[in-house]
Amino acid sequence: MKKNFDIKVSVLGAGYWGTVIINTLNKLGYKNINVYDTNNRNLLILKKKFPKIIIKKNLENILKDNTLKNIFVATPPSQNYLIVKKLILNNKNIFLEKPGFINSLQIEKIKKIINKRIKLMFGYVYCYNDYIIKIKNIIKKNYLGDVQYVSLRRQNLGPIRSDVDVDYDLTSHDLSIILKLFDKIPRVISFKKYYLLNKKIADISNIHLKVKNISIDINNSWLNPTKERLIKIIGKKRMLIFDEMDLETPLKIYNQYAKYPKLDYFSKNFLKSKAYIYKGSSKNVKIVANPSLENEILYFLNSKKIETDINFGSKILSILKRI
């Protein structure tokens, strides 16, 4: 990808994630970063931290600036529909932090007004994670054998949201990983939510899904005493663990499996048969991994084709609607 660090970019929203995006743009070397937020205090804090950023106090100044084409939207989901609509009508390319919108109806309305000249990319950062890309290649090459089961856990004590529930905040990440790995929309089999702090906003979520013949469990919480970012994949030949909290060796493959001997259902030994367990060696999969958000931002600013486009975002919102 050819990179141009002199292009003008803008970040709408100077809260927590907007600040992370600004920090990453600055680290990558982008020199012309424009920032808009309705909260003057946030802008003052940012200006002290990043003296070279350009503060925009009026959204219209960004909309009417024809030299400013690439906009990062990190505003609350409840505000995104009207903001994105304005950006599209002014021919801006849009990086929209996930899940983007609060419902599927909004995204369907956006589909009707967007044109092919405009890039609209949903910020599902794990789709640009080098380890997730590696896992996808491992599955594609059938190194694990037929995948039978996947478990995803994303838990921590906070941050606790007041605008969206744990599924919109955390599970949306895991749904993007499933779509990335298997290129299929999973079927929702069952789900259970727990409302501990607020009767309207779920804090803990357990979801069971199916993709083809693969069973998938997602267990997420922002009320957990320890931080977990864990994916386990069980194949017929091997097993895999991706543990983000293991900073040295996050990706491991275990050369082990279990299976029952092939017996006729009517055999007298059928009920007495025992599972055979094979335990071989394990190995750490080492790759050169760049920070995922850096990959994602560079992809948005320098690629014509967008993987996590409006159709990708629509698929995830349609699943979230069912749970």
Q: Is the Cβ–Cβ distance between 194 and 203 less than 8 Å?
A: yes
**What percentage of the chain carries pLDDT values higher than 90?**
88
What is the model's pLDDT at position 276? 82
Choice among 69-78, 113-122, 148-157, 260-269 with the minimum mean pLDDT? 260-269
pLDDT tier for residue 1 given thresholds of 50, 70 and 90: low
What is the model's pLDDT at position 124? 98
Q: Is the Cβ–Cβ distance between 34 and 62 less than 8 Å?
A: yes
What is the model's pLDDT at position 272? 64
pTM of the model: 0.93
In the CATH scheme, what is the homologous superfamily, with its name and number, of domain 8-124+292-309? NAD(P)-binding Rossmann-like Domain (3.40.50.720)
Residue 145, phi then psi, degrees to nearest 5: 80, -175
Whether pLDDT at 268 is above 90: no
Distance CA 177, CA 233 (A): 12
Better-scored residue on pLDDT, 191 or 280? 191
Task: Give CA separation, 218 vs 158, 180, 183, in Å.
Answer: 18, 15, 18
**What percentage of the chain carries pLDDT values higher than 70?**
96
Whether pLDDT at 261 is above 90: no
Can you give the residue ranges of every domain in the chain? 8-124+292-309, 130-284
Whether pLDDT at 240 is above 90: yes
Choice among 7-21, 168-182, 274-288 with the minimum mean pLDDT? 274-288
Residue 295, phi then psi, degrees to nearest 5: -55, -45
Whether pLDDT at 271 is above 80: no
Q: How many CB atoms lie within 10 A of CB 138?
A: 19
Instruction: Mention every residue, 6+ apart, whose C-beta is less than 8 A from residue 74.
Output: 11, 12, 13, 15, 17, 18, 21, 97
3.30.360.10, 3.20.20.140, 3.40.50.620, 3.40.605.10: CATH of 130-284? 3.30.360.10
Distance CA 239, CA 236 (A): 8
What is the model's pLDDT at position 257? 85
Choice among 40-44, 84-88, 151-155, 256-260 with the minimum mean pLDDT? 256-260
Q: Is the Cβ–Cβ distance between 228 and 245 less than 8 Å?
A: yes
The torsion angle over the Cα atoms of residues 61, 28, 314 and 307, rounded to 10 degrees, is 130
What is the model's pLDDT at position 239? 97
